Structure 1
């Protein structure tokens, strides 16, 4: 690694799918995995291209149950390109001697380079270089070039450049027993101008996908005319381009791609649109130059610099890179959400979970127009969420744990335990807290941007509907004068029922109840912010009256929280009666116990019996809410607490969490950032390694973990800096770990186009944009300042220990 390069030396088949995900290229509209252009899906390589929003639904039968799954669709492979010498075998690295193999991802430029030398059985050595990009400047364009140097031979070389529609969804091992053929047979063509075309359609959602490819051949840098011989196979079209080389000569084939779908705006028929895209794009160098320029603009806004430089710094930039490739300015008009595994593979079938809680803080403070678009994805699906609430006899809106195209619940009803081979009931749809996440994200966006127009037109409606649902979901216990929320799951997916209880679900999950109380308070705040006219419109639209508002106030003051020994906040009612777990024994027996649920189920046991957590649950509260906000909720609920209750609760659950989710160590680092900086830094580094080191043993190759990537960035920008956006001011309370010498980043706060923040252990500098803008109120620790946008503030910091 260098400051901007992720480099792999040597070809390693066992690591290929991990590299394909980590070196994938995208632009917020589509992403293409970094599979070798000469490859097909074969257990080593897995070519995959995924367009945001292009999904399809297939049906299977499992154990007598009819199962429907909506999946993001693996689209035809546009990268397909290979070569052979003098009519011999096509390029196959496993059959050749390979040396000097390098794969290099340039994060600054968004370009993937691959270089190697191969020697065949006749002793002919060929030097190969390839570059790839998915254009950040033009959302429908991608490009590839391949140079072939005849090191010690002379003769003909044939390059085959194709569009391969013979693809299926088979990139996740546990899904391979289920249907994966989403595309209907493709129509292919070769125009008089040498442009290849392939058009196909999804089998159920009826989305049309079109690819067009234009090839250009150069010898020693000079363009040459080469006859194109058409190659046709079912679902595959290609051209063979043959040139004669002398020893030392170099042939280059440049391939420019247009990819259009029937979901795109501003086009006609997708096939014609794809051809038009490459017709007006210019040559490879022009496309590359515009792509690099756009990335330079993005990095100016979005880079997060940290000292010391090294692996951690580059990994952090890799995380920023993949965020921007999954969601960018090209995502704004697509009506898509934030997929938990990016657009980098087929894990979780491309579904939208709650990862936006970790992702949106990055966009709120840099690309708020993109964050706004992601929130509108939820707003547009309010009708489906309302229907889901009505289906269980409740008012308001019940958002799905897993969301897709329509906003219906896409969570599995059964899942496979690969350790036991058994299909088991899946109750994860009971994670009703997803609606609280949607409301939370909406409010935090408003705090960061001051976008009252969005709140009035869209955001308040979402928050009020979520509040209505949770107020209605709560049931009153007159004996204790408390409200209970029953039959739910918290973020910790290791508990979906109490031992011995036949019905799934838990009662009074602390995370759910605290966030519900907080959300009800924010719903009342929304009504205060809106104009009187808009407030009446919304209350009429949502059928809300004064009695509803009174119930919100009552529920927000009376939700039950459960506590056990020493003022520990219980994860749910009955948690204190669970058994302690034999952590040491199971670590000795299994080593990696991050997936205890699978281990125990294979033994005929269940995590429901034990005080174990897959990931942070109660501790999430200490990340999402400031201490002041959390204490305000507890005060409102009339629960006594003391300053030591938070650290005691944190310590209790730290000892009982096995980190089966990549999000878990992000949260643990956050909650320790103020009390144990060394341990927080250790968790931060662990979280950074989640994908690049594939700590979960093969999962990253199926798609990156976008929430964990975003969470590491947020740890730096907010967790270690104490950055908050509330009460119309920018708040900072730095508390850097000892091994983090300094950091620097730019943000956009409300109407201030650029604020640059530089922090080390001794000094904090906040710089303005030097443009005409209002004076910005800044609170640094306990002191108040006002930042003139034409200047900067330099504030000495007193070192803290801990």
Structure 2
């Protein structure tokens, strides 16, 4: 990495899938993996194009059962452009001799550049340079420029461009036994001498898809249709030292788009009106310049380079174009098919950062949850509960998309999947509502859609909590916490755990924030809400009671991950590390041995410690006081050390959370976990998973670690709260935020000092609170503060 480029030298088939993921280009509406255009899907390459929110549902036979899955659909491939000397074999890096190969992702411009020199024998060399973009200004356009240069020969080169509708979802090996044929009714045609089109639809969701491709070159174009492909061929005369250029411009529309009649007609019209490659590049660059200014991040060194790559992929997945769509936060971006493109809780790690740069995008992503509130209400009713139960995995309509079986690749066995018991996802939705409204000052949203979601999530938690006479406390039973390894008690007939500390404490947090919101509502709006939801005073009293009496178990003077955790066996961590090396997926290792991780004090990722990630020390201590417990620094430090020694970090989110918590609790080892989080995808630390799609939550989390974690930045009570913690490895950094109508507020931390610059405007001054003082920074002012030791 060199500042604003992400280069790969040489052709390396073993790592091609990883490169394809990390070189994905997108614009928030759709994205295309960084596959080589001349290569089709095989064991090395996997071209894929995905439109946000484009899902389809299919049924498969698995382990003697019919299983239904909804997937983000791999759309027709617009990339294909292959080439060969006349009458010879098509050239690819897998079939020809490669002298040089270089692929560079240009972050500042959202441009993917590829250069390859092929040895054709007898002193002949063909140089191929390609530039690719997925347009950030017009979200329906993409373009590919290919330049051919002959060295040492004169000859005819055949080039073939295509739109390919014969694609399936096959990008994840463990899903290949499942039905992946999502596209039907593929038709192709010619719209103009230089333009072909392809239309199709998804099998069950009936989303219509239209693509059109225009080929621009200096020679005549021959078009033919070879089902399921629309093909354009040109014959190019090459002479030494002269470069011949072929430009391919593509438009994509689906029937989910607003303000269109027919997606095919829209695609044909759009590609026909699109300017040439150079003009497209100019407007694309302008759009990226705007994004980089709004999300400015200045972190020195290698960490800054990786953070810039992370920010690039967040912006490609969740751009300002996303604000016009009905989509959630896909856990693996628009970069591959892992997790089937589903929406989990990863917005918890992504939205706090977006709130302070692109609040309109955050609002749209939360509206995705609000539109599915009725589904969440129905899910709660289905298990005999009031309120809203949001799904662990969400897709098109908000029903629970978590599979009932999952494959352990190590043992080859299909196993019951109980992760749908992660009810804590509702607290994540509520947390995001609250954080967005505090950061943006969007009272209208909080008083309407936000209040409705908070009320129904709080209602669910209060109803899910049952009173235990012997404890004199409320308990939430039969859940799975963020850890995910533990989904039941050893030998128990039913899955689920009792009193997961994270679940219970965050449930109490939701109840407190909801009560606070309802008290602050204007009386007419409160009356409307009460009438619509049937809320009564008795229910509010119950919420107040439950918020003070939820059970939080302890053992050995630390917070228990769940009731009974202290009774589990200790694992021989050193022995398993000696035997297996990488034990991140300890659950799979133990299951393959005929054992279960449920028997051990072993976690996949942060669970109890998530509380220290989401809540500031003062807020967390206040919640525990409300619940009747004293959480002082010693108890929290013991808790952190206890779980640090018992976590395998089988999730990319684990490094983010542990780095954040350690930075605020004790500086030692914090940077180690921050580095682990930074390396997660670029080094593919989980061994092959990044090739199936990036981990968007971890990427967003590393950015937020710098923005909020190290600065202690909070937006609450109409003020900007800061409580920086020193980290020697990251002692100088800066970033810009958008806060309550102020655009481009700049914060910079140097050793021992904090600088805040507020751009000139007609907005009110910003109230800044530090642990030892409060300052008021007016528009047009720059304030430099010396920090207490």
TM range (shorter): over 0.9
Equivalent in 501, 506, 511 of residue 502 of structure 2:
511
- Among candidates 513, 529, 537, match of residue 528 of structure 2: 537
Q: Aligned equivalents of 1:94 and 1:558: distance in 2?
A: 64
Q: Which stretches in structure 2 are left out of the alignment for 5+ residues?
A: none
Q: CA contact under 8 A between 1:303 and 1:320: conserved in structure 2?
A: no
Contact 1:772 1:790 in 2 (8 A): no
Q: Distance between the aligned counterparts of 2:322 and 2:346, measured in 1?
A: 17
Q: Decide whether the 8 Å contact of 2:162 with 2:229 is kept in 1.
A: yes
The offset of 1:797, in angstroms, is 2.3
| Structure 1: distance between partners of 2:155 and 2:469 | 90
Equivalent of 1:780, from 760, 770, 778? 770
Give the secondary-structure state (helix, strand or coil) at the position aligned to 2:687.
Answer: coil
| Pairwise CA distance, 1:122 | 4.2
Contact 2:621 2:632 in 1 (8 A): no
- Show the 5 A alignment for 1:184-583: 184-217=184-217, 224=218, 226-307=219-300, 309=301, 311-565=302-556, 567-583=557-573
Task: Compare 742-751 and 26-35 and name the one that shifted more.
Answer: 742-751
Residue in 1 aligned with 2:738? 748
SS of aligned partner of 2:588: helix
Conservation of the 8 A alpha-carbon contact between 2:194 and 2:216: no
1:96/1:121 contact within 8 Å kept: no
- Distance (whole Å) between structure 2 residues aligned to residue 141 and residue 249 of structure 1: 29
Contact kept, 8 Å, 1:678 with 1:737, in 2: the verdict is: no
Instruction: For residue 299 of structure 2, give the secondary structure of its aligned residue in structure 1.
Output: strand
| Map of 1:64 onto structure 2 | 64
Cα RMSD (Å)? 1.0
Give a deviation string over 1:477-502, Cα, whole Å, max 9, x none. 12221101000000011101111211
TM-score (norm 2): 0.99
| C-alpha contact (below 8 Å) 1:398/1:466 kept by paired residues | yes
Q: Is the 8 A contact 2:131 2:144 kept in 1?
A: yes
1:80-135 per-residue CA deviation (whole Å, 9 max, x = no partner) reads 10111122111122222212211000000000000011012444211110000000
Q: Is 1:47 aligned with 2:47? A: yes
666, 675, 678: which one pairs with 1:688?
678
Matched, 1:165 2:165: yes
Question: Using the alignment, how far apart are the partners of 1:797 and 1:561 within structure 2?
Answer: 36
Structure-to-structure mapping, 1:633-782, within 5 angstroms: 633-782=623-772
Q: Secondary structure at the match of 1:774?
A: coil
Structure 2 Cα separation of the partners of residues 789 and 36 of structure 1: 49
Instruction: Give me the whole-angstrom Cα distance separating, in 2, the residues matched to 1:756 and 1:165.
Output: 47
Secondary structure of 1:489 counterpart: coil
TM-score under structure 1 length normalisation: 0.97
State the shift of 1:471 in Å.
0.2
Distance apart, 1:398 and its partner CA: 0.4
1:500-543 residue CA offsets vs partner (Å, 9 max, x unmatched): 21110000000000000011001101111211111111122111
Aligned residue for 1:722, secondary structure, equals coil
- Rounded Cα–Cα distance in structure 1 between residues aligned with 2:12 and 2:478: 48
Find the aligned partners of 1:298 and 1:369 in 2 and give their Cα distance: 13
What is the CA-CA distance between 1:192 and the residue it aligns to?
A: 3.2
Q: Does 1:612 align with 2:602?
A: yes
CA-to-partner distance for each residue in 1:635-666, whole Å, 9 max, x for gaps?
Answer: 11112333311111111100000000000010
Judge conservation of contact 2:189–2:225 (CA < 8 Å) in 1: no
Q: Distance in 1 between matches of 2:608 and 2:718?
A: 29
Q: Distance between the aligned counterparts of 1:251 and 1:231, measured in 2?
A: 23
Partner Cα distance (2:654, 2:768) in 1:
31
Shift of 1:678: 4.3
Number of residue pairs aligned between Structure 1 and Structure 2: 789
Aligned to 2:112: 112
Tell me if the contact between 1:678 and 1:738 (Cα under 8 Å) persists in the aligned partners.
Answer: no
CA distance in 2, matches of 1:294, 1:4: 16
Equivalent position of 1:156 in the other structure: 156
Partner of 2:613, secondary structure, is helix
Deviation at 1:632, TM superposition (A): 1.2
**1:252-273, CA deviations, whole angstroms, 9 ceiling, x for partnerless residues?**
0011100011001111211110
